[in-house]
Amino acid sequence: QVQLMQSGPEVKKPGASVKVSCKASGYTFTSYGISWVRQAPGQGLEWMGWISAYNGNTNYAQKFQGRVTMTTDTSTTTAYMELRSLRSDDTAVYYCARDRSRSASPDYFDNWGQGTVVTVSS
């Protein structure tokens, strides 16, 4: 079965960076994309960006342009999301999700990771 297993919780200071991993299994990794979505405490879902596991193409939400980098390692079927210059309002649960789009812009998300709590606090 499809599984997306994310790395554990992180506590960071303002100005630092965080890198969250998402290990995929149970499907052909390069046939899909990965989108990253975050959810601040008590708030709704916010799409951050998408990466094609097929060719490495990325689309980032304008809000995160210049501050986020998404990558994949096809040899380990793992996706990564790095967010830099962290602020307190980056405190959220960060989800990876399997995106049905292989090589173009993002699509819909049919499987999700369990979420990674990132806390930004001085």
Partner 1 sequence: DIQMTQFPSTLSASVGDRVTITCRASQTISSWLAWYQQKPGKAPNLLIYKASSVESGVPSRFSGSGSGTEFTLTISSLQPDDFATYYCQQYNSYSTFGQGTKVEIK
Binding site residues, partner 1, CB under 8 A = 35, 37, 44-47, 50, 59, 61-62, 95, 97, 100-101, 105-110, 112-115
Q: How far is the CB of 107 from partner 1 (least distance, A)?
A: 5
Tell me whether residue 8 or residue 75 sits nearer to partner 1 (CB atom). 8
Q: How far is the CB of 1 from partner 1 (least distance, A)?
A: 12
Tell me whether residue 50 or residue 122 sits nearer to partner 1 (CB atom). 50
Distance CA 76, CA 26 (A): 13
Task: Assign 48 to helix, strand or coil.
Answer: strand
Beta strands in the chain, from DSSP E residues, in sequence order: 3-6, 10-12, 18-25, 33-39, 45-52, 58-60, 68-73, 78-83, 92-99, 109-112, 116-120
Nearest-CA neighbor of 38 among 63, 73, 15, 13? 63
Task: Assign 109 to helix, strand or coil.
Answer: strand
Q: How far is the CB of 94 from partner 1 (least distance, A)?
A: 11
Tell me whether residue 32 or residue 109 sits nearer to partner 1 (CB atom). 109
Tell me whether residue 24 or residue 97 sits nearer to partner 1 (CB atom). 97
Q: How far is the CB of 108 from partner 1 (least distance, A)?
A: 4
What's 85's DSSP letter?
Answer: S
